[in-house]
Amino acid sequence: MHDLTIIIVCYNSSSILPGLLDSLPKGVAAILVNNSPNDRLDHLASDLVRVIISDKNVGFGVACNLGASNVTTQYILFLNPDTRLQSGSIDALMQGAKNHPDASAFNPILTDSDGKIRNKRRSVLLPRGHRLSAQAVQCDGVVPVLTGAALMVRADAFFQVGGFDSAIFLYHEDDDLSIRLGALGPLRIVEAAKVKHEGGHGSGDRIASTSIKAFHMGQSRVYAMRKHNRPMPFMRSLGRATLQLLSPATWLSRRKRIKQVHFLRGILSAP
């Protein structure tokens, strides 16, 4: 029995959740925080799987905090609904935590459907000098920022830093949490732990979903950059959005056009 609870934030995820739940090893408890009350998950509840229903979509970080408030184990593993644990991944993460008791949080190696490694190599919240090479995220070691799609954290460290920032609805919340956790202890990649992440399938691949995500990406980008004292957060974000919106590739795709327009809207509405 692992001293660990898995938290999965769900938004229109009922069709993909069974694959993730089937990949969990026996005896591991999971909490499903349902951010979409109209997408029922009651049928997935069991002795080890608890379903918490939010009255509305409160955002990823707030939903993670809601799930974490029900945790009594020493470790928390946050997983996106479109991830799949590979055999032995939790054992490897727990061994990594045992081997590095000073570390506050951990990532497995994340790969997409094509086998490409998707661990985060940089963050807009950090100076360029913190950018990692492709090789640096393929092996055990300390990294400046972790990927939220599969993030294991010591529960005491998570609660000590106040969990996810509730002001961030979606995007950059894992970067922000990583920086705050990193002040308590190193962030590490555990090479022996493997997780597949399809990416972009946790809430469906619809135009409406794309619009919502892009808006919050723009808004969160400016907010988080300001929070971490990055230079010219608004102007840099606005410049990026404008260049992307003017790209010919954007205007050849309706989905890309909608995404960039809403990304710009999010930047312009950032507090």
Condensed to tens digits (0 to 9), the pLDDT of residues 108-145 reads 999 998 899 999 999 999 998 899 998 899 999 999 99
The pLDDT tens digits for 48-88 are 999 999 888 999 999 999 999 999 999 999 999 999 999 99
Most confident listed range (59-63, 195-199, 204-208, 246-250): 59-63
Listed by start position, the domains of the chain span 4-197, 207-268
The pLDDT tens digits for 223-252 are 999 999 999 999 999 999 999 999 999 989
**Which residues, in sequence order, are bridge partners of residue 269?**
none
The pLDDT value given to residue 206: 67
CA distance 171 to 72: 27
- Give the whole-angstrom CA distance, residue 267 versus residue 219: 5
- For 153-164, write each residue's pLDDT tens digit: 999 999 999 999
CATH T-level assignment (fold) for domain 4-197:
Spore Coat Polysaccharide Biosynthesis Protein SpsA; Chain A (3.90.550)
pLDDT range class, residue 201, cuts 50, 70, 90 = low
Classified as helix, coil or strand, 58 is coil
Q: What's the pLDDT score for residue 233?
A: 97
Q: Which two tokens stand for residue 170?
A: 């979606």
Given a cut of 70, is residue 204 above it in pLDDT? no
Supply 143's token pair.
């990294």
